[in-house]
Each structure stands twice: as C-alpha cells, then as structure tokens.
Amino acid sequence: MSFQPVKFYQTGTFTVGNRLLPDAERSVQANMRRTNSLNSGHRACQGCGEALGARYAIDAAMNATGNRLVAANATGCLEVFSTPYPETSWQIPWIHSLFGNTAAVATGIAAALKVKAKSDVRVIAQGGDGGTTDIGFGCLSGMFERNDDVLYICYDNEAYMNTGVQRSSATPPAARTATTMAVGSEPGNPFGQGKNLPAIALAHDIAYVATATVAELRDLEAKVTRAMEFRGARYIHIFVPCPLGWGHASHDTIRIARLAKETGLFPVFEAENGEIVSVSKIRHRLPVEEYLRPQKRFAHLFSPQPRAQVIAHLQAIADRNIRKYGLCEENAQ
Amino acid sequence: MLKQTEGSHAVAEAVALCRPEVICAYPISPQTHIVEALGEMVKSGELANCEFINVESEFAAMSVAIGASAAGARAYTATASQGLLFMAEAVFNASGLGLPIVMTVANRAIGAPINIWNDHSDTMSQRDCGWIQLFAEDNQEALDLHIQAFRLGEELSLPVMVCMDGFILTHAYERVDLPTASQVDAYLPPYLPRQILDPAEPVSIGAMVGPEAFMEVRYLAHAKQMQALGLIPGYAEEFRSVFGRDSGGLVRAYRAEDAETIVVALGSVLGTIKDTIDEMRDQGAKIGALGITCFRPWPLAAVRAALAGAKRVVVLEKSLAVGLGGIVSNNVRTALATQDTPVHTVIAGLGGRTITRDSLRKAFAQAFAGRLEPLSFLDLDHAAVDRVLAREREVRRSGPIAEALLRERGVPGARVG
Ligand SMILES: Cc1ncc(C[n+]2csc(CCOP(=O)(O)OP(=O)(O)O)c2C)c(N)n1
Ligand code: SF4
Ligand SMILES: [Mg+2]
C-alpha cells in the first residue's frame, strides 16, 4: 500500500474533514454529496454542539447504510430546534413521540421493519442526556436488554437545556444549573451523584458502546460507521457542549469538547461485545482548570475567591478516569 | 366455529385472525391471558409474520406500538388499570399522531387502595385521550369488536380501545362463535397507512406545533371521531352480513320502545340489567335499557333518540368522578340537554362489588316511585362510612383509610350482596 503523508492545515486536531485526502479517507462531512440529514436553517443556538453532533452522526449513519435510515427522536433541544412546524430540517424519515420513550419507539420501528422484511433499513434513536439518563432510562435499558436492533445516540450537554438548563443525572459535580444554583457553602451540583451511562450500557452486554466528542469528527464518524456494522442494541454517547447552558463563547464549542477529553474529564473509548477495544489517548494532558475556566457554569470556582479544593476534587475525578481507562500513554500497558 | 372458551382466549384468537404484525406484552391482571395466548401463537408459528415483544412497562408497550404503527405495521397491545395510567402519556400521543393501534383494556379499578377487580375507572380516566372507546357486553361481542376496531381505526387513522370487563368477561368461559380466517380477511383489508416512516419518501412525524395550528390539529381529531359516528353503524351492518350476527354499533336498546324508565349502562352489567328488566316487565313495569357500545365518540344523537320517550333515565355506572358523581350520566345529560327528563346517577360495582338483580330491582323501583336520589351508590355500607368519618373527626391520627374500613367490615368480601 502506498503511503502519502498528509499535511493538515489545522494542526493538533482531528477535526479536519480534509478535502486534500483521497476520497476514501475523507470524512463524510467533507464529501460534497453528504446527505445533510439535519439540514441548515434549523433554530439551534450559534455554536450548538448538539446540532453539530447530530449532523455528523446522522450523515455518517446515512453513509453507512446507503441512506436506508429511520430515526426516532426524544423531546429536547434537538427535536425543538429541528422541527418547528411547518418546517423540518430532517431529510430522513423521522419521528418524535415523547420525551421518555424514544428507545421503545425505535424498538417498534425495528420490529415493524423486521416483519415487513425491510431489514436493510436501519433504526436510530436519539435524545439528550435528560431524555437518555433520566426519563428515558427505563425504555433505554429495556431496549438494550432485549438487544433490539437499534443504535441509540445520546447527545450529552450535561443538563436539561430545552427547559432552561436544569440539572440532569449527567450534570457534572460543581456545575451551576438552574436547579443546582451557585449559592451556599457548596455551590453547584453536589459531588458523589450522577450516572455513567456508557458504563451502564456496557453492563448490558450489548454489541457496541462508544463515547465521542464533537471535537473529533473523524473519530465520531468512524464510531457511527462501526456501530452500523453490528446488529442488535448499540449505544454512542456524544459529548456536545452547549454555549447557552455552559456559558462559553459560541466559537469555543469544539475547543471545550477537546478540553474535556484532554483533561481526562470525558473519557473517549470504544467497546465491542463488552470489552473496551480502543481508547482515545490524551495528546496534551491539561489540568481541569483549563476546561473549567472558560465556562460560566463553573465561574463560582474562580471568583470571588478560588475554590482550590473543589477544583482539586474535579482534578481527582479526571485523574481517576485517566488511570481507569488508560487515557495517557504513560498509563498504557 | 362454536367453541367453549375463556374470554381472553376468544379475544386472542380474534386478534390473531386480524393478522397483527407487532404485539407488545406487559403483564397486569386481568389482561394477562390475552397476551399470553397471543405470545404462544407467535412462538409456535401459528401466528406468522408477527413480532411479539416483552417490554419493560406499559409506557414502553404503547411506545413500541407507536413506533411499529408509524413504520406501517398493524400494532396491538392490551392492558388494564394501573397499566393504562402508566402508559397515559403515550396513549394521548398515539391518538395525537393518528396511529391506528388497537388495545384491549380489561377494565379494572384504579388504586389506591390497590384492587384488581372490575370497574370502569381506568378507561373512563382516559375518555378524552382521543381514542375511540368501544365497550363489550359479552365475550362474543368482545371478540367481534376487535375485528371491527382494526377496520375502523385503520380507516380513520385513529387508535381504538376495546374495553371488556376484567374477570367478568376476560376470565369467563362461554360459548363463542369464532370466525374463520377467510371471513376476517373479507371484512378487514390489509393495513394501508396514511403516513409511514419510509426512506423512499422521508417525512417528519410529530413535529412541534404552536398556537398557529394547534387548535386546527385538535379540531381534526374531533372531526375524525365525528366521522367514526357515521362509520360505526355501517361497519356493524357489514359485520352482520359477513359474520351473521349483530355486534358493535353505537348503542343498543332493550325493551325500550314504550319504556318510561330507561337504564343506561356499559359492558357486562347489561346482562344483569336485562334480566332484572325482564322480571320487572313481567310485573308490568315499563322499563327498558340502553347499552352504550361506543362511548367515544359519544353518540349524542343516537342516545337522544333512544331516550326521547323516557320519563326518567337511570344511569348505572362503574366509575366515579370523585367530587362530582357520574361520568356516563354527565354525557347522557348532554344528550338530554334540551329535555327536562330527570337523569339519576347510580354508582355501582366499584372495585368488583357484585351488582345483584335484587339491588338493581330496588334501585329501579325507587326510581319509579320518585325516590331515587340524583346521585346514589348501590349497596354502599353507609354505617361503615359514617363510622370512619366519625372516627376521623375525633382522632387526628386516624390511620390509613382503607384499613380502617376493613377493620369495620371484617372479612373482606364476606358481605357481598
Ligand atoms: C414527560 C415530560 N416531562 C418533561 C418535559 C419537559 N422537557 C422537554 S425537553 C426537556 C429537557 C431535555 O433535556 P435533554 O434530554 O438533556 O435534551 P437537551 O434539550 O438538553 O438537548 C424537558 C425537561 C416533557 N416534554 N415531557
Ligand atoms: S440551548 Fe444548547 S443544546 Fe439547546 S440549541 Fe442552544 S446550544 Fe444547542
Ligand atoms: Mg441535555
């Protein structure tokens, strides 16, 4: 195989969708014939990580399935900003039923496709972290457990954004939300709570579980593509910063997502048939402070006086992730 | 084919003959035998081309049915009581999306106190959910209504609930006439959805609708139910020509032509009511009955016409609008809005309390004598209730209500009748 070194213009990132690469190696997004499954013109905030994540994921899934895709969508920002009646941004068959039943709706679609002998049409369920880790958790666990032929994608922006930034079980410790206010002696979301849904998905022994961020487009696309090679229940958890809820600049969405990974706060990995098969290594390990500082939801950790202990606690969480998942080269065996 | 079988099995066989493609099952008494029987038929291959899904809740059952129906499959589920409430959000959603799912509700009381026996509180709580609600009088009708339900629901793209009394019908062994597959096929055409999730023609289903069109969407739901009022008698008629028996329709009168007193009711209690009427007729009382088969849409004109000649109406209902009284009777009053016929509400049979001919005869006789209250509770133990109320006045920590009553009454169920 011939090898052609490529020079990326955006050095230090994997985000480049690069049109300089040979066709086969280009990202789906770089392809002029991408499906634009979530088309432009929707009403997401500027810099919305969820809009970006959904666009990448669904286009990749369309590419992987020869455009034979149906999606069920939970109530939440993605649903609301994409389909204000009578407009829709979706270029794929798409259904929104309720907030907490998306995995079950997808099960129903998959069952219908099976009896109709249309197994080439694949099913995706998607929702926010609230719709996934909280209210839709029962249906999701049921879908996993029955091993229904559905890829569930969670767009994790770590709170209930659509209703105005309330805490979910995916909200990180210390974060300020509308229901974990930055007041009192322990401002923000308490430590010692929350759910790790990728780990819970793994515990269901399903065929494919992966995490990804919108900072690594090619990785995200590769995971969606890989997920489509399996049958049965699959889960991808995508880290999607929300400029409105997190209080960071719209142009910093990708940077924040990358910082979450580079600090070790959000481990990026892939598991097949119950075993972790790959981990995205941290390339430039950074202290959590770098990630926390640009976000207003963590502002109370820095002013009026710095809360070094809280920051240290968060650093300990990141360090534990790094050890647990072997996120740094020196930790790898 | 005539067969001596359990009501649940009869319904399962009818549903199977309708060639459902996705069935969701979640256990709750008294509905369990229906989905168990269907599950066995799917597993054994007797019911081919059907996915039987054991879901983790009723909320999931309805949600799976929603997905399946939107993807073009004929979808069926069954539930009762707590299960119906647990799926309530999805029940409204199914009708809002216009998905012709058919669901059996094996009518059962709602707790607390938890109670597995029959009344109509469950389906009555969902009366405004946008589903068509049909009530079966006996097992034959329960069986037949399912076949009509698929036909009606799919024609209008609306979901249909077939309500049958829990235990009284679901668990009763009776003779039923099971139709043949070719009869059902002749009556029920294959499902042609009005909307479908299909990559060849992508649509967005379930988009957000604001004030600019929401009223219209809701109006259309109402308009479709009004269309159902027009279609149901015709489908019942057609049913008779294919299957050779009367089943379904909007309402059914019994010895009501010259009746001065007409008793209105839904479901299996109509059997007891008819027997009571026969006895009272023998003694010269001008009494008849009106059975409501279709409760939603409310057959206003049919009810009005059927009750036009009555001097008084007694509505016997197995549900209670707490803080108001009757639910069915309020609907009946709407039909009689332009007349001053007195409408009496008799709440009966809550939580499976037996409704006896004796008690019915007394209540009807009171109505004849002009002594029946506008709202009464059949066979209510007034003394026990009064003692609990008195105790609550005296003792602050009077304890759990149900337990206090049970202590009063001794062995539960021992005093029925
Ligand atoms: C049963 C129910 N409860 C609450 C809501 C209100 N609700 C709608 S969207 C939403 C928040 C969604 O949060 P998430 O799932 O994290 O998605 P995001 O908007 O953050 O992308 C809530 C609470 C609802 N629609 N239905
Ligand atoms: S609130 Fe957040 S998730 Fe919602 S549209 Fe805006 S940026 Fe996206
Ligand atoms: Mg969220």
Q: Which DSSP string corresponds to A107-140?
A: HHHHHHHHHTT-TTSEEEEEEEHIIIIITTHHHH
Cβ(B326)–Cβ(B375) under 8 Å?
A: yes
User: Taking 50 as the threshold, does the pLDDT of residue A277 lie above it?
Assistant: yes
Beta bridge partners of B377: B347
Q: Tell me the C-alpha distance between B14 and A139, whole Å.
A: 29
Farthest CA pair distance, chain A: 63
Residue A282 belongs to some domain of the structure: yes
Range of the domain at A289: 28-325
Answer yes or no: is pLDDT of A51 > 70: yes
Q: Does B51 touch chain A (CB under 8 A)?
A: yes
Q: Helix or strand or coil: residue A325?
A: helix
d(C-alpha A29, C-alpha A250), whole Å: 20
Q: Is residue A279 assigned to a domain?
A: yes
Report residue B166 CA to chain centroid gap: 10
Query: How does pLDDT run across B16-69, given as a tens digit for each residue?
Result: 999 999 999 999 999 999 999 999 999 999 999 999 999 999 999 999 999 999
Which residue has tokens 């910082």? Answer: A259
For residue A306, the distance in angstroms to the closest alpha carbon of chain B comes to 44
Q: Is the peptide bond before A187 cis (omega within 30 degrees of 0)?
A: no
Could you check whether B2-243 and B251-375 share the same CATH topology? yes
Does any CB of chain B come closer than 8 Å to the CB of residue A141?
yes
Question: Which residue is closest in CA terms to ligand 1's atom 11?
Answer: A160
**From A28-42, B120-134, B148-162, the region with the lowest mean pLDDT:** A28-42
Residue A295 sits in a domain whose CATH number is 3.40.50.970
Percentage above 70 pLDDT, chain B: 98
Q: Decide whether any atom of ligand 1 lies within 6 Å of the A162 Cβ.
A: yes
Q: How far apart are CA A253 and CA A71, in angstroms?
A: 25
Q: Are the Cβ atoms of A111 and B22 closer than 8 angstroms? A: yes
Between helices B382-394 and B401-409, what is the axis angle to 10°? 130
Q: How far is A144 from chain B (nearest CA, A)?
A: 11
Closest CA to A108 of A60, A70, A78, A82: A70
The CA distance from A232 to A242, in Å, is: 31
Residue B111 to residue B108: CA distance in whole angstroms: 10
| pLDDT at A86 (0 to 100) | 86
pLDDT at A16 over 60: no
Place of tokens 């770098």: A290
How many domains does chain A contain in total? 1
Residues of chain A contacting residue B198, judged by C-beta atoms under 8 Å apart:
93
- pLDDT 10s digits, B22-31: 999 999 999 9
Reported as a single tens digit per residue, the pLDDT across B248-307 is 999 999 999 999 999 999 999 999 999 999 999 999 999 999 999 999 999 999 999 999
Instruction: Classify domain B251-375 at the CATH topology level.
Output: Rossmann fold (3.40.50)
Q: At what angle are helices B88-96 and B58-70 packed, to 10 degrees?
A: 20
Task: Note if the bond before A86 is cis, omega within 30 degrees.
Answer: yes
- Orientation angle between helical segments A137-146 and A102-115, nearest 10 degrees: 30
Using the CB atoms, write b or e for B257-280: b if 16+ within 10 Å.
Answer: eebebbbbbbbbbbebbbebbeeb
Q: Is residue A309 part of a domain?
A: yes
Q: Å from A205 to nearest chain B CA?
A: 17
Percent of chain A with pLDDT over 90: 87
Q: Is A245 in the pocket of ligand 2 (CB under 6 A)?
A: yes
On whether residue A308 sits in a domain, the answer given is yes
Contact indicator for B359, B295 with CB cutoff of 8 Å: no
Q: Are residues B265 and B348 in contact, defined by beta-carbon separation less than 8 angstroms?
A: no
CA separation (Å) from A93 to A38, A81, A102, B183? 11, 17, 15, 36
**Mutation target vs B (from A97, A114, A143; most B CBs, 10 A cutoff):** A97
Query: From the CA of A36, how far away is ligand 2's center (Å)?
Result: 19
C-alpha B38/C-alpha B36 separation (Å) is 5
pLDDT at residue number A331: 43
Strand order in the sheet with B160-165: B51-54, B22-25, B75-79, B102-107, B160-165, B132-135, B294-296
Task: Report the separation in Å between the CA atom of A276 and the middle of ligand 2, taken as the mean of its atom positions.
Answer: 31
Is the distance from the beta carbon of residue A92 to the nearest atom of ligand 2 less than 6 Å? no
Domain ranges of chain B: 2-243, 251-375, 381-417
What three-state secondary structure class fits A60? helix
pLDDT for A15: 46
| Nearest C-alpha in A relative to B217 | A85
Atom of ligand 1 nearest to the CA of A157: 20
Rounded to whole angstroms, the Cα distance separating B407 from B414 reads 13
Strand B173-177 and strand A69-73: the pairing is unpaired
When comparing pLDDT for B398 and B196, which is higher? B196
Atom of ligand 2 nearest to the CA of A44: 5
ipTM (interface pTM):
0.96
Does A22 map to a domain?
no
Contact status, residue A113 vs residue A74, Cβ threshold 8 Å: no
Q: Nearest CA of chain B to the CA of A120: how many Å?
A: 11
Pairing of strands B22-25, B204-205: unpaired
A322 CB under 6 A from ligand 2? Answer: no
CB neighbour class for A238 (10 Å; exposed up to 12, middle 13-18, buried from 19): buried
CB of B174 within 8 Å of a chain A CB? The answer is no
Record: fold of B2-243: Rossmann fold (3.40.50)
* Whole-angstrom distance, CA of residue A129 vs CA of residue A171: 9
| Mean predicted confidence (pLDDT) in A137-153 | 98
Residue A251 lies in a domain: yes
C-alpha A82: how far from its chain's center? 17
> Is residue A9 over pLDDT 60?
no
State chain A's mean pLDDT as an integer.
93
Sign of CA dihedral B313, B294, B317, B91: negative
- Do residues B264 and B314 touch, judged by C-beta distance below 8 A? yes
CB B3 within 8 A of CB B165: no
pLDDT tens digit sequence for B134-183 = 999 999 999 999 999 999 999 999 999 999 999 999 999 999 999 999 99
- The alpha carbon of A48 and the centre of ligand 1 are apart by a number of angstroms equal to 17
Instruction: Name the phi and psi angles at A271, rounded to 5.
Output: -130, 135
Structure tokens at B151: 């036909």
Each residue's pLDDT tens digit, A77-108: 999 999 987 899 999 999 999 999 999 999 99
A206 lies in some domain? yes
From atom 6 of ligand 2, which residue's Cα is the shortest distance away?
A: A45
Site to substitute for ligand 1 among A38, A75, A177, A253, most atoms within 8 A of C-beta: A75
Q: What is the mean pLDDT of residues A232-238?
A: 98
With beta carbons less than 8 A apart as the criterion, state whether A184 and A176 touch. no
The finding on whether A48 has its CB within 6 A of some atom of ligand 2 is yes
Q: Buried (b) or exposed (e) across B20-56, using 16+ Cβ within 10 A? A: bbbbbbbebbbbbbbbebbbebbeeeebeebbbbbbb
Are B197 and B203 in contact, with CB atoms under 8 Å apart?
yes
How many beta-carbon pairs under 8 angstroms link A with B? Answer: 161
A265 has pLDDT over 60? yes
Instruction: Write down the pLDDT at residue A240.
Output: 98
pLDDT of A20 higher than 70: no
